[in-house]
């Protein structure tokens, strides 16, 4: 399926800027390696179907559809007509080092941000654990305070009861003293009567 004039032009261009890395006849896919520098090389896959292989991973996929449209999948996906594919592919591969370095910079910033977020999450988890400890301690203090408040109320009631009982005791003491003096008076009268009878 990759044999028309445009397909041959794409293959020639990819062979010119890179090297044919692998020609998978089973999957009808061609893999090209394009080296920009020692640190930057990419694999481009040109095929008539989306990647179902696991053997070779590609950075850019060029897929020709049955209605002669080309889909390029890299960081983003775009669908192009036959007359647009080669100019777009040339621009993409020309700008790829810039795109790559920008993405790499963003990735480095994202990695740093991820580390900071992970550090912040660790600190947050530590603070949450500390707050849980404080919450448990607060609950214990609150329970002790509630029990203390209840005991203070009971203590106040006991003080009132003791005060009432002291008052009642004082009243009973006065009554007892009066009764005792009456008993003594009666006893004296009885003794006087006994003395009179015995005479």
Beta carbons of 47 and 39 less than 8 angstroms apart: no
Assess contact for 16 and 30: CB atoms under 8 A: no
Confidence (pLDDT) at 45:
86
pLDDT of residue 192: 87
Distances (CA, A) of 49 to 5, 56, 64, 66: 19, 15, 7, 9
Low-confidence ranges of the chain (pLDDT < 70): 1-3, 25-27, 51-56
Element (H, E) at 88: helix 82-198
Is the Cβ–Cβ distance between 50 and 61 less than 8 Å?
Answer: yes
Query: In the numeric block, which tokens belong to residue 134?
Result: 């404080």
Secondary structure (3-state) at 157: helix
The pair of structure tokens assigned to 27 is: 């999957």
Distance separating alpha carbons of residues 177 and 173, to the nearest angstrom? 6
pLDDT given at position 56:
62
Question: φ, ψ for residue 78 (rounded to 5)?
Answer: -140, 145
Give the model's pLDDT for residue 121.
Answer: 92
* Dihedral (CA of 133, 137, 142, 143) sign: positive
Give the residue among 153, 159, 41 at the shortest CA–CA distance from 100. 41
The pTM of this model reads: 0.50
What are the pLDDT digits (tens) for 104-143? Answer: 788 888 889 999 999 999 999 999 999 988 888 898 888 9
* pLDDT recorded at residue 55: 61
Handedness of CA 24, 25, 30, 33 (dihedral sign): positive
């Amino acid at each position: 399926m990759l044999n028309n004039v445009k397909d041959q032009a794409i293959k020639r261009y990819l062979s010119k800027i890179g090297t044919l890395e692998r020609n998978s006849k089973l999957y009808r896919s061609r893999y090209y390696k394009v080296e920009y520098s020692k640190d930057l090389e990419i694999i481009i896959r040109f095929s008539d179907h989306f990647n179902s292989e696991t053997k070779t991973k590609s950075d850019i996929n060029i897929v020709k559809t049955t209605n002669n449209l080309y889909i390029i999948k890299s960081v983003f996906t775009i669908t192009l007509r036959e007359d647009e594919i080669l100019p777009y592919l040339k621009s993409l591969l020309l700008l790829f080092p810039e795109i790559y370095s920008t993405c790499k910079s963003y990735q480095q910033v994202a990695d740093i941000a991820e580390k900071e977020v992970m550090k912040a999450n660790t600190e947050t988890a530590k603070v949450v654990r500390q707050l849980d400890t404080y919450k448990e301690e607060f609950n214990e203090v609150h329970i002790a305070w509630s029990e203390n408040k209840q005991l203070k109320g009971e203590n106040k009631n006991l003080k009132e009861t003791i005060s009432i009982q002291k008052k009642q005791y004082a009243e009973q003491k006065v009554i007892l003293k009066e009764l005792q003096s009456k008993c003594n008076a009666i006893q004296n009268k009885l003794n006087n009567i006994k003395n009179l009878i015995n005479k």
